[in-house]
Structure 1
Amino acid sequence: MSATERIYSLLMKRDPQAEQALPDEVRRNVPRNGLRLVLANALQSSGDQTVNASTVLPWLFHALGVPAALTGVLVPIRESGSMLPQALLTPMILRVRYRKRVFIAGAVVQALSVALMAATAALGQGLAAGLVIVGALVVFSLGRCLCSISSKDVQGRTVPKGQRGQINGLATAASGLVAITLGLGIRLFGGEDLQAGQLAWLLAAGAALWVAVAVVYTGICEPAGEEEREPARGAGEEAKRWFAETFGLLRDDRAFRHFVTVRSFLLVSALSPPFVVALSISSGTDSLAGLGGFIIASGLAALLGGRLFGRLADRSSKQLMTVGAGVASGIILALVLIVSLPGFTADSAGGALLFIAGYFLLTLMHTGVRVGRKTYVVDMAEGDQRTTYVAVSNSAMGLILLIVGGISSLLAILGVVWALVFLAAMGLAGVFAGARLPEVSRG
């Protein structure tokens, strides 16, 4: 047994029968490919922490003097940019026989985008710098879209069933550990004054991580896929047909339309974290150590959330979704109320701890909402309908994210508090709307 195989066997619970069912070429390379996928996913998750749209980028915007309204579009652009183009890009990607090449291209696009953000952080200022970073984030999200579409195919071609979830789980755990380590490092070595140049170095490290992801992926031994049998159908024609089916499903399937509506209200936990960071800064938390605390909180939520909410989702994914949104709304309203009290300031240890604890609970609830709604959509459908539901709901949410993000950003011009109250109200509406969803879990 080679060293590679020994290491892989220590990390993974392997199923010999599942591996024996693979073609000889694929079976021989399972340990090598598996380790590279674990490493690439871990590096990718680590890179995500350095360009986190809920922590790092809002703090960078404050350091650069970017208007608060732009903070509200960070998460919508980051998330919707990887969802909306899928219908258009998928037919093109199906013509590429080696999907790892698509993933490598996506990783390079993300590396270049983050490098541009780093240069802007070092040299830019004000609204112009914010617009450049938002533009780079759009391109970054398109690169993430390429990686998202292709990575599933690469995993399916190189790793047997029963090991793919373990690879994703190790990457998630690595992301949480990296976030905690990064946050501790910022608190210990960042100093007291927030400087955009320090965040520029952090972003530069993120760009280097994405380059490393591309390099690792080049070593994966992927079997060639079949060529597209209907090259005459153009990508544009395929995309139009897919969009027509999408709108038809939302129009005709009442139960599915109700789920997408409820999911839209549940955006409270996804879109509010950047505004909480902005509110803490405006309340007096202006040191780099504050950013470290938020990153640590994000890492702890990632480590604890999946394990905590997995069993709850199997009992009742509907209740997990709606209760998570309700609790998130309550956390937001409590923070807004406390911040509005006369004499409150976040420059004390207690004030900073309040925001960090609130941020941790909010991101923890977001983990619960995500686990709940992913479990719900899987349980509510069967077979190919499940795949259609997932694809259509993701594309619809990409558009809804942009709309809700735009509204909250406009409200942030009046004040960050108004954007948070709007999102909290959406979450409370989601609780009432979600109560009418049918129960699909086994309990």
Structure 2
Amino acid sequence: MTTADRFYSRLVTRDADSEHDLPDAVRRELPRNGLRLVAANTLQSSGDQTVNASTVLPWLFHVIGVPAAFVGLLVPIRESGSMLPQAFLTPLVVRVRRRKWVFVTGALVQAVSVAVMAAIAALGHGTAAGVGILAALVMFSLGRCLCSIASKDVQGRTIPSGERGQIIGLATSAAGLVAITLGLAIRILGGGDLDSTELALLLVAGAVLWALSASTYSRVVEPAGEPGPRGGAEDGDGSSSWFADAARLFREDATFRRFVTVRGLLLVSSLSPPFIVSMSVAAGTGALTGLGGFILASGVASLIGGRIFGRLADRSSRLLMAGAATAASVVAVALVLAVALPGFDGGSALGATVFVGAYFLLTLLHSGVRVGRKTYVVDVAEGDLRTTYVAVGNTAMGVILLVVGGISSALAVIGVQWALVFLAVLGVIGAVSAVTMPEVSRGAAR
């Protein structure tokens, strides 16, 4: 047994039957590939922390004097921008025999984009700087889009079912540890007074992390697949139409349609945390202010949740999604009820603890939903169908995210608590729907 074998076996509960189904060449490289994927995904997730659209970039905009109206564009550009183009790009991606090079290209695009943001942070100011960073964020989102399409397929080709969730969970936990270290460093060295130069250096570190991720991912030994067709569905005039492919997939594939529907309903854990921050500020608590505090909280949640949820995802990814979404809905409603109690004081130690606890729990549970859905989509399909599932599903989610985010934001104008209740109701409906999805995890069959 090689060193890589021993190390991989200590980190992952291996599935001998599933590994036996792999081609010999893939099985020989499994331990090294598994460790490389964990390392590359850890570097990528760590880089994400340095350009977080909910914490770092809003903080940067404030420091360099970007108009407040621009802040509201950050999350939609980052999230929807990385999802909406995926169905359109899929016909190009499936032509590539080794999809790892698609990921490497996407990671390098992200590295360059963040380096551009760092230069603007160091030299720019005001509206022009905001426009430049938003433009770089659009380019960043396209790189993220390529990584998202390719990563599921590479993992499906190189890691057997029963171990994929653990790989995702390990990377999540490791990135959480990096985030904790980063958060503590910011709190100790910068506190609440980080200037543009220090933030630029933080972004430079992010660019380096993505470059290292690309380098590590390039060493994954991936079996070559057959190149996909040069077009998608044929229109009446013979031209290809990715939109027709996507529409047909929704119409004819009930499993895919249900997965996208459930995923769209499980946004409670991802969209609720910003509303909790808003409630805490309105209530007078300062416990969640400070960039280091945000990064620290998300890092602790990832560290704890990644390992646990990775194993649970390999047992049953659909039940993990259902359970995590239900718990997130309960947390959101419990917070609304707690804040509504007579005499509740957000500025007190108890009030701050309530907000911090709710924020942490929702971030933790979001790790569960995220690991569960990623594992499910890798297990539910094979080959180019998996690539299509990921791309078309993410494109649909880009639209759903805008719709649900718009509704919750409109409700927040009436009262933030109504937005949380709305998301909690969706979460419960999604959890019930997730239970009815087909079981695809090998662990559930034991």
TM (norm. structure 2) is 0.77
**Per-residue deviation, 1:162:** 3.7
SS at match of 1:222: coil
Please state if 1:242 is matched with 2:239: no
Deviates more, 1:40-49 or 1:16-25: 16-25
Amino acid paired to 2:248: E
Once residues 93 and 144 of structure 1 are traced to their aligned partners in structure 2, the CA distance between those partners, rounded to angstroms, is 14
The CA deviation string for residues 217-254 of structure 1, in whole angstroms up to 9 with x for no partner, is: 222232322233x436589724022232256469xx7x
Please state if 1:430 is matched with 2:430: no
Please state if 1:133 is matched with 2:133: yes
Once residues 177 and 64 of structure 2 are traced to their aligned partners in structure 1, the CA distance between those partners, rounded to angstroms, is 28
Match in the other structure for 1:271: 271
Question: Residues 289-368 of structure 1 correspond to what in structure 2 (within 5 A)?
Answer: 290-305=290-305, 307=308, 318=322, 320-322=324-326, 324-331=328-335, 355-367=355-367
**Per-residue deviation, 1:182:** 1.3
Deviates more, 1:433-442 or 1:187-196: 433-442
SS at match of 1:359: helix
Amino acid paired to 2:209: L
Query: Can you give the 5+ residue segments of structure 2 that lack an aligned partner in the other structure?
Result: none
Match in the other structure for 1:43: 43
Contact kept? 1:190, 1:289, Cα under 8 Å: no
**Per-residue deviation, 1:127:** 3.5
The CA deviation string for residues 25-55 of structure 1, in whole angstroms up to 9 with x for no partner, is: 4344333323222211111121112122232
Question: Residues 11-90 of structure 1 correspond to what in structure 2 (within 5 A)?
Answer: 11-15=11-15, 18-19=18-19, 21-90=21-90
Contact kept? 1:175, 1:299, Cα under 8 Å: yes
Question: Residues 383-394 of structure 1 correspond to what in structure 2 (within 5 A)?
Answer: 393-394=393-394
The CA deviation string for residues 118-137 of structure 1, in whole angstroms up to 9 with x for no partner, is: 22222233343333323322
Contact kept? 2:91, 2:232, Cα under 8 Å: no
The CA deviation string for residues 139-177 of structure 1, in whole angstroms up to 9 with x for no partner, is: 222211211221223223333444333322210110211
**Per-residue deviation, 1:212:** 0.4
Contact kept? 2:50, 2:202, Cα under 8 Å: yes
CA, structure 1 residues 317+119, in 2 after alignment: closer, same or farther (shift >3 Å)?
Answer: closer
Amino acid paired to 1:109: V
Once residues 124 and 287 of structure 1 are traced to their aligned partners in structure 2, the CA distance between those partners, rounded to angstroms, is 30
Amino acid paired to 1:32: R
Please state if 1:103 is matched with 2:106: no
CA, structure 1 residues 367+417, in 2 after alignment: closer, same or farther (shift >3 Å)?
Answer: farther
Once residues 430 and 225 of structure 2 are traced to their aligned partners in structure 1, the CA distance between those partners, rounded to angstroms, is 42
Contact kept? 2:325, 2:365, Cα under 8 Å: no
Please state if 1:199 is matched with 2:203: no
Amino acid paired to 1:440: T
Amino acid paired to 1:114: V
CA, structure 1 residues 20+292, in 2 after alignment: closer, same or farther (shift >3 Å)?
Answer: same
Once residues 39 and 316 of structure 1 are traced to their aligned partners in structure 2, the CA distance between those partners, rounded to angstroms, is 24
CA, structure 1 residues 330+371, in 2 after alignment: closer, same or farther (shift >3 Å)?
Answer: farther
**Per-residue deviation, 1:107:** 0.5
SS at match of 1:29: helix
Amino acid paired to 1:424: L
Size of the alignment, in residue pairs? 429
Match in the other structure for 1:166: 166
Match in the other structure for 1:94: 94
Once residues 277 and 104 of structure 1 are traced to their aligned partners in structure 2, the CA distance between those partners, rounded to angstroms, is 35
Please state if 1:185 is matched with 2:185: yes
CA, structure 1 residues 129+401, in 2 after alignment: closer, same or farther (shift >3 Å)?
Answer: farther
SS at match of 1:168: helix
Contact kept? 1:329, 1:423, Cα under 8 Å: no
Contact kept? 1:87, 1:243, Cα under 8 Å: yes
Amino acid paired to 2:169: G
Once residues 86 and 305 of structure 1 are traced to their aligned partners in structure 2, the CA distance between those partners, rounded to angstroms, is 28
Amino acid paired to 2:329: A
CA, structure 1 residues 23+374, in 2 after alignment: closer, same or farther (shift >3 Å)?
Answer: closer
Contact kept? 1:119, 1:200, Cα under 8 Å: yes
CA, structure 1 residues 419+103, in 2 after alignment: closer, same or farther (shift >3 Å)?
Answer: farther
Once residues 333 and 132 of structure 1 are traced to their aligned partners in structure 2, the CA distance between those partners, rounded to angstroms, is 42
SS at match of 1:81: helix
Once residues 397 and 99 of structure 2 are traced to their aligned partners in structure 1, the CA distance between those partners, rounded to angstroms, is 26
Once residues 327 and 87 of structure 1 are traced to their aligned partners in structure 2, the CA distance between those partners, rounded to angstroms, is 34
Amino acid paired to 2:303: L
Once residues 65 and 139 of structure 1 are traced to their aligned partners in structure 2, the CA distance between those partners, rounded to angstroms, is 22
Once residues 157 and 108 of structure 1 are traced to their aligned partners in structure 2, the CA distance between those partners, rounded to angstroms, is 22
The CA deviation string for residues 347-366 of structure 1, in whole angstroms up to 9 with x for no partner, is: x9888666544421332343
SS at match of 1:399: helix
CA, structure 1 residues 121+277, in 2 after alignment: closer, same or farther (shift >3 Å)?
Answer: farther
The CA deviation string for residues 174-214 of structure 1, in whole angstroms up to 9 with x for no partner, is: 02111111111111222442323222211110110000011
Q: CA RMSD in A?
A: 4.4
